[in-house]
Amino acid sequence: MSEPVKTPEDCTTMLDVRAGVDETDRQLMKLLETRFGYMRAAARIKPERGAVRDEERKASVIDAVEQAAVKAGLPANAIGKIWNDLVETSIAYELVEWDRLRD
């Protein structure tokens, strides 16, 4: 059985850091799986394909993430770009799912 992953503050070696990063990546993948599940749900629920892209909602999501990044002392602009890519990928995925469900 492996040792529990240390918090960033408790890391004393690069092995500790890498174990924490790897565990964080596993958790992020689980969260992305859940997020894309919601995209499948949205594709099922939205009656029109044109409703998939919602620029106002996209801007709101990115703004909220950038504000949270500022509060956390993280690079808000860079995280906003990551989220823009995430949202665009989510929209593309939702469009594919919307089409698949109606073929």
Q: Is the pLDDT of residue 1 over 70?
A: no
In a domain, 3, yes or no: no
- Which segments are annotated as binding site for substrate? 18, 35, 46, 94
CATH of the domain at 83: 1.20.59.10
**What average pLDDT does this structure show over 74-95?**
98
Residue 3: per-residue pLDDT: 78
| Domain ranges, residue 68 | 8-102
Looking at the domain assignment, is residue 30 inside a domain?
Answer: yes
* CA 14 vs CA 17, 32, 72: distances in Å: 5, 26, 23
Backbone angles phi, psi at 33, to 5 degrees: -60, -45
Concatenating the DSSP letter of every residue in 2-46 gives: PPPPPPGGG--SHHHHHHHHHHHHHHHHHHHHHHHHHHHHHHHH-
In a domain, 70, yes or no: yes
The model carries a pTM of 0.91
Q: How far is CA 30 from CA 25, 37, 39, in A?
A: 9, 11, 14
Total domains present in the chain: 1
Where residue 103 falls among pLDDT bands split at 50, 70, 90? confident
Point out the annotated binding site: 18, 35, 46, 94
